[in-house]
Structure 1
Amino acid sequence: MRMPYDDAIAHLQAVDPVMHAVVDVVGPCAFAHRAEGTHFEAVARSIVYQQLSGKAAGTIHRRFHALYGDRAPEPAELLATSDETLRAAGLSRQKIGYLRDLAARVASRDVPLDDIDALDDDGAIAALSRVKGVGRWTAQIFLMFRLGRPDVLPELDLGIQRGVQLAYGLPALATPREVQAIGAPWAPWRTVASWYLWRFVDEQNGGQLGD
């Protein structure tokens, strides 16, 4: 029986012998995107989680949702919530500003989150990047894990840079330009390749392919 990413794995292993070895080390692909909730909720969550450990971010995120009956707020609800209330949930002033900017832009349709599925990857990244605190990396992660786009390569991600370093035996972290150049043959399955690199780093625990 064919699995969901058989075509992607066959392509990656055919075009790149190093990626062939990475796939062999990691095993079957378990990549999945999150379909539950709303796009607004997903972007707001990414803002809350920025620059925090998973445990600390999870605690603040739960307190944030608790303000609205243990659910994600609508943009208008967030805009109507005082800074003091949001601060009490553990959000920094900077993140409150980012969340308000997101809510205002979604409410005004300056950022058309409800229709973002209709945009191509570059268009979606450009739209999301209009929000304060949402840069290229955050937008790419949204495309991968929210929209399930198959050909996204987050070249700014430290895990991806480390994965390329380990797999290809580079003396230092791969630069974004190196990631893009090495990853070019992986198209149109660069999301799947990225998932494999993240898992490869986990498997290696700082080791080197072939050690």
Structure 2
Amino acid sequence: MFFPTPTQPPDWSAAIKHLRRDAKLRRYIAAVGPCTLIPRDNPFVMLVRSIYSQQISTTIAATLYGRFAGRFPRKTPTPRRVVAALSGGWDDATIRHVGLSRQKREYVLDLARHFEDGRIKPKLLYKMDDPAVIETLTRVKGIGRWTAEMFLIFVLNRPDVLPVDDLGLREGVRRLYGLAERPRPQTVREIAEPWTPWRSIATWYIWRGMSALKSEN
């Protein structure tokens, strides 16, 4: 286990108290309820999942990743076994069956090699500051800033990440503040400034709030 997995979510009460000062965001917080973000305990697996999810639906990605993981002991791929599998251990038919295009195969293999040869050290990711994590992860083929920011939020639970290139966040900000069009990244930064140092939690509430309020209508 690379990161501690708590038996219950972290205490985000300070974040919620701070964010409730925003009258509009307060509505989303009320609709969603407690923040349930918890850290995840296997960064390699989470990053493989993120590569699988690129450009396809969440449902399809989960199915294909399940096929991939199912070929490893305890359904848990490790860097060493992934390198062996994708460097010649699996034939082309198997690779297609588990849903890896030629490009995604290169991405997953490059990720596995970064973990296997020590260019990415899982325990150190937990200790790095946010810019260092982003710099480290974006050296891997197929992992851009957005994926690294999702890793910071959902795996490491860093509290003050603002993924301004995320279309869901920008659309959520547009709806929340009654804007005529989807705001540009700089506008999102300006709107989000009062959320500091809890911009990750605000982002999470905006994502969840859109779904929660839609289901009420």
Q: TM-score, normalised by structure 2?
A: 0.86
1:33 counterpart = 2:42? no
Residue in structure 2 matched with residue 11 of structure 1 by the alignment: 18
Q: Which of the residues 134, 138, 142 maps onto 1:133?
A: 142
Q: Distance in 2 between matches of 1:195 and 1:56?
A: 23
Aligned to 1:21: 27
Q: What pairs with 1:66-77 in structure 2 (closer than 5 Å)?
A: 66-77=70-81
Counterpart of 1:177 (choices 152, 172, 186) is 186
Q: CA deviation at 1:152?
A: 1.1
Deviations 1:113-153 (A, max 9, x none): 33100100111111111111111111111111111111111
Report if aligned partners of 2:158, 2:200 keep a CA contact under 8 Å in 1: yes
The alpha-carbon deviation at position 29 of structure 1 amounts to 2.2
Cα separation, 1, equivalents of 2:173 and 2:215: 12
Does structure 2 conserve the Cα–Cα contact (< 8 Å) formed by 1:31 and 1:192? no
TM-score by length of 1: 0.88
Aligned length: 203
Shift in alpha-carbon separation, 1:204–1:174, aligned structure 2, 3 A: farther
Q: Which residue number corresponds to residue 47 of structure 2?
A: 43
Task: State which of 198, 201, 207 in structure 2 corresponds to 1:189.
Answer: 198
RMSD, aligned CA: 2.1
Deviation at 1:206, TM superposition (A): 10
Structure 1 stretches of at least 4 aligned residues deviating more than 4 Å after TM superposition:
none
- CA gap 1:75/1:27 in 2 versus in 1, 3 angstroms: closer
Q: Does 1:60 align with 2:64?
A: yes
Gaps of 5+ in 1: none
My pick for the range that moved more, 156-165 or 61-70, is 61-70
Change beyond 3 A, Cα 1:27–1:76:
closer
Q: What is the deviation of 1:54? A: 1.8
Residue 41 of structure 1 aligns to a residue whose secondary structure is: helix
Offset at 1:20? 2.9
Name the counterpart of 1:97. Answer: 106
